[in-house]
Amino acid sequence: MQHPTIVKDNVAVITGGASGIGFAAAAAFARAGMKVCIADVDQARLAEAAARLSSVTSATHVMSFAVDVSKVESVAELERAVRERFGGTDILMNNAGIQPGSTLFGEPDNWQRIIAVNMWGIINGSRIFAPSMIARGRAGLIINTGSKQGITTPPATPLTTSPRPA
């Protein structure tokens, strides 16, 4: 059974949409006839992904937007741009995430960036987009994706790293 928001001419916004699962979801939404905005931090990948999406659907149904989901102002600009271009959002897929490598005793700045993108990106996206989605008065959907790293702790990940004796 398909969700009632996945219909022709509805609007999907996918953060982390220039590659991986985000791009695969964007392509699936485009094949369903939806208008799609892929948002990502990497402008070069965005341009390439937008061109690839345009081969699946009309170029007028594809939008790309450079965003840093860790910054609430950047996410607010994304929401405004989608509303101006497509009239609003029906599906928000908070998919942006990073894991640049970390160790428990690694640099705190690295941890701050991971938390800012992986946690605050979802919070920022949901808080910024949900009020406008509700105001549309129709079915909407927010999808938050995550890695299996959030469920399991495979060997050699930060939680299992311990200092070596001197």
**Nearest residue to 7 (alpha-carbon basis) of 99, 140, 142, 111:** 140
d(CA 149, CA 136): 35
In a domain, 66, yes or no: yes
Q: How does pLDDT run across 59-96, given as a tens digit for each residue?
A: 999 999 999 999 999 999 999 999 999 999 999 999 99
Residue 129 token pair: 């987009």
CATH number of the structural domain spanning residue 140:
3.40.50.720
Residue 163 has pLDDT above 50, yes or no: no
In a domain, 162, yes or no: no
R_g over Cα of the chain: 17
Pairing of strands 35-40, 11-15: parallel
Single pTM value for the model: 0.89
Provide the residue range defining the domain that includes 57: 11-148
In a domain, 115, yes or no: yes
Q: How does pLDDT run across 99-124, given as a tens digit for each residue?
A: 877 677 777 888 899 899 999 999 99
**Nearest residue to 91 (alpha-carbon basis) of 9, 10, 159, 1:** 10
Confidence of residue 131 (pLDDT cuts 50, 70, 90): very high
High-pLDDT (> 90) share of the chain, %: 76
In a domain, 164, yes or no: no
The number of distinct structural domains making up the chain is: 1
